[in-house]
């Protein structure tokens, strides 16, 4: 998938913005309940989720592997003069790119299924969290491969089994895993029929 090519029009799909805003609302509750101060947005896209949280966190680091997406974030940062937010184009799974900061909250929406080495990513998240910090992940439940049917070069995961992801989180050092239904994406198979793709929200905590 060519995210650089899609970056300039990424915000134009209403349902994409809708689920990012809904995610931000859920995260806002976590931030207030736990008095979190800092956050990392992994696979940030154009930063829709994080800009909704800009007044609730003292520092936000936005990470994306697409330079086009990061360019769009930086345009928004300049427009809004959001000096407590910063964006980086990097591969966080590369040990050379480990960030010096640790965060209270790491969140990601619809990115995990693009990362082949899920186990390693969860370990990296754990390493970048403060004690008692939390990871919040929104992604696809297991699907039949049709979600990315129009992208023949897609080589990621066909969604996730929640119990399997729980085990991966546990193996990475997380505890108190909780999953809930989050959203349903509908894609048209033909003019008269659309297919539902459920999304989950999974939260897990690093030991205090």
Confidence of residue 198 (pLDDT cuts 50, 70, 90): very high
In 45-173, the DSSP E strands lie at 59-64, 85-89, 103-109, 129-140
Q: What is the mean pLDDT of residues 138-154?
A: 92
Per-residue pLDDT tens digits for 62-100: 999 999 999 999 999 999 999 999 999 999 999 999 999
- The pLDDT value given to residue 39: 98
- The pLDDT value given to residue 150: 85
- The pLDDT value given to residue 38: 98
Cα 78 from chain centre: 23
Confidence of residue 207 (pLDDT cuts 50, 70, 90): very high
182: pLDDT strictly greater than 80: yes
Q: What is the mean pLDDT of residues 170-199?
A: 88
Whole-structure pTM over 0.95, yes or no? no
- The pLDDT value given to residue 124: 98
Per CATH, which fold does 3-206 belong to? Rossmann fold (3.40.50)
3: pLDDT strictly greater than 80: no
- The pLDDT value given to residue 5: 62
DSSP 100-114: S--EEEEEEES-GGG
Find out whether 1 and 66 touch, Cβ atoms under 8 Å. no
Per-residue pLDDT tens digits for 147-162: 998 888 899 999 999 9
DSSP single-letter state for residue 160: B
């Amino acid at each position: 998938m060519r995210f650089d090519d899609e970056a300039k029009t990424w915000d134009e799909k209403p349902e994409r913005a809708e689920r990012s805003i809904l995610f931000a609302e859920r995260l806002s509750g976590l931030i207030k309940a736990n008095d979190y101060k800092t956050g990392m947005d992994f696979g940030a896209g154009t930063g829709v989720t994080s800009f909704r949280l800009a007044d609730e966190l003292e520092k936000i680091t936005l990470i994306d592997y697409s330079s086009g997406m990061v360019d769009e974030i930086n345009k928004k940062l300049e427009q809004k003069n959001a000096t407590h937010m910063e964006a980086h184009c990097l591969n966080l799974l590369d040990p050379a790119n480990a960030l010096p900061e640790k965060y209270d909250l790491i969140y990601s929406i619809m990115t995990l299924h693009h990362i082949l080495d899920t186990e390693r990513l969860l370990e990296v998240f754990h390493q970048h969290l403060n004690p008692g910090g939390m990871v919040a992940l929104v992604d696809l439940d297991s699907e039949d491969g049709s979600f990315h049917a129009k992208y023949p070069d897609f080589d990621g995961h066909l969604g996730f089994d929640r119990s399997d992801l729980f085990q991966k989180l546990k193996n990475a050092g997380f505890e108190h895993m909780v999953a809930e239904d989050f959203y349903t994406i509908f894609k048209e198979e033909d003019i008269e029929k659309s297919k539902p793709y459920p999304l989950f929200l999974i939260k897990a905590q690093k030991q205090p």
